[in-house]
Amino acid sequence: MKIKEIRVIVASPGRNFVTVKIITDEGLYGVGDATVNGREKAVVAYLEDHVIPCLIGRDPMRIEDIWQYLYKGAYWRRGPITMAAISGIDIALWDIKAKAANMPLYQLLGGASRDKIMIYQHVGGRDIEETVEGVVALREKGLVAIRAQVSIPGLPPIYGTGPSTDQSAMVQTLPVEEVWSTHKYLPLVPKLFERLRDTVGWDLHLLHDVHHRLTPIEAARLGRDLEPYRLFWLEDAVPAELQEGFRLIRQHTTTPLALGEIFNTIYDCQQLISEQLIDYIRVTSVHAGGVTGLRRIFDFAAIYHVRSACHGPMDVSPIAMGANVHVDRWVPNFGIQEFSGYLEATHEMFPHAWEQQGGYLVTGEAIGHGVDIDEKVAAKYPYKQAYLPIARAEDGTLWSW
């Protein structure tokens, strides 16, 4: 079998997605996700100009060799754009291999370690009351794990805090600038979780995402203040370029820590994992080297009792979600899967075998990873330039987020 053609399809069914379609001379094809939110076209150029010409005529069964060829062979290793391109190719190749083997992907990976995949979804509110109402409503739909966020009083809702802000990235041409205040945020979050525990009790898993906005000592304080409410995890407490910075947080709190949605390789989390500075590693197939990358990172994490938790927001396409859930079904050290849901147009463009059943996802038994792209639907939704917002402190200082 040989790779005959590779197409890159860019479309915006409510969000921008970059999809790789690899077609073989035997007619089998596979699809992969290569989306980097807000930087989509950089990946398209990387794929079209530098990757695809090198792969035509190669044997699609040699997934590991192609991965190494694109990683080591480029000389310029790692980085989000390179790794998203590798991820898109890798996910499509695993799809082809599983189809050739006539198996669902999880079978090829080693078979099921579990029947269904626990997910968490998001609730945000303009105030504590609204978040509590949202959590109660989501629990009634069968969710067993919920991420709760709240806007800072006196400031407009910003990305990842108030209601529906995850959508805001799609309506702006240039980045919106938002205002952040650590001073106002820190005492607010424990109050939110106190109210939540009073209302929903202790069975529900509760999570919180800080979005990289704190320093280590501030995160340590927050983790400690949240201990009475037994969070499932505190996510992205500080930017993680400084891996040893997490030692400081760890010394002060037993609140579990999760990290990794912007990581691309095992080297981004090597120290975090081997020093047991985190509890959940949140890498995802589209940004961390595809199925091949995830397997490598999760196997390494297993040695140190760190569990998997694939990033799964709306900008990780249903294809990457398909790859994630097959890895989730197999991976022995599974923790949880994020699932933000998708807009109707996104579902229409990506027919998928995975489905949500209450608080869980199931893979389905379709061969491959079970997700396809409808190119006719894709043609109806042309790319729209869109960016994630930018955060500034109240005095105008540009902030991590």
Interaction site with ligand CS2 (CB under 6 A): 37, 160, 166, 209, 211, 261, 311, 313, 315, 338, 388
Q: Which two tokens stand for residue 304?
A: 């140190």
**Closest distance to Mg ion from the beta carbon of 4 (Å):** 38
| Residue 211 a catalytic site member | yes
- Can residue 209 be called a binding residue for Mg ion (CB under 5 A)? yes
Measured CA to CA, the distance from residue 131 to residue 164 in angstroms comes to 12
Among residues 38 and 364, whose Cβ is nearest to Mg ion? 38
Cβ of residue 70: shortest distance to ligand CS2, in angstroms? 23
315 is in the binding site of which of ligand CS2, Mg ion, none (Cβ under 5 to 8 A by kind)?
ligand CS2
The residue of the chain with the least Cβ separation from Mg ion equals 209
Is 159 an active-site residue? yes
Q: Which is nearer to Mg ion, 90 or 209 (CB)?
A: 209
Q: Which of 122, 208, 211, 287 is catalytic?
A: 211
From Mg ion, ligand CS2, none, interface partner of 166 (C-beta below 5 to 8 A by class): ligand CS2
Task: State CA 228 to chain mean position distance.
Answer: 28
Strands of 3-11's sheet in order across: 3-11, 17-24, 29-33
Is residue 241 packed enough to be buried (19+ CB in 10 Å), middle (13-18) or exposed (0-12)?
exposed
Structure tokens, 350: 């990506």
Single-letter amino acid, residue 292: T
Smallest gap, in angstroms, from Cβ of residue 321 to ligand CS2?
12
Q: Write the CA distances from 172 to 40, 211, 380, integer angstroms.
A: 15, 20, 20
| Closest separation in Å from C-beta 17 to ligand CS2 | 12
| C-alpha pair distances (Å), 239 with each of 231, 270, 312 | 20, 15, 19
If the CB atoms of residues 211 and 369 are measured against ligand CS2, the closer one turns out to be 211
Token pair belonging to 122: 């998001």
Q: Which of 159, 185, 360, 381 is catalytic?
A: 159
Binding segment for Mg ion (CB under 5 A), chosen from 43-51, 129-137, 207-215, 241-249, is 207-215
Q: Residue 37: which of Mg ion, ligand CS2, none does it interact with, CB under 5 to 8 A by kind?
A: ligand CS2
Please identify, using beta-carbon distances, which residue of 18 and 109 lies nearer to ligand CS2: 18
Site map for Mg ion, 216-255, x if CB under 5 A? ----------------------------------------
Q: 10 Å Cβ neighbour count for 276? A: 12
Min CB(357)–ligand CS2 separation in Å: 21
Minimum distance from residue 287 beta carbon to ligand CS2 (Å):
9
What six digits make up the tokens of 161? Answer: 């805090």
We find the least distance from the C-beta atom of residue 262 to Mg ion, in angstroms, to be 9
Query: Which C-beta is closer to ligand CS2: that of 4 or that of 392?
Result: 392
Which CB sits closer to Mg ion, 37 or 107? Answer: 37
- Residues 376-395: x/- map of binding to Mg ion (CB under 5 A)? --------------------
Contacted entry of ligand CS2, Mg ion, none for residue 352, CB cut-off 5 to 8 Å set by kind: none
Interacting residues with Mg ion (CB under 5 A): 209
Annotated catalytic residues are 159, 211
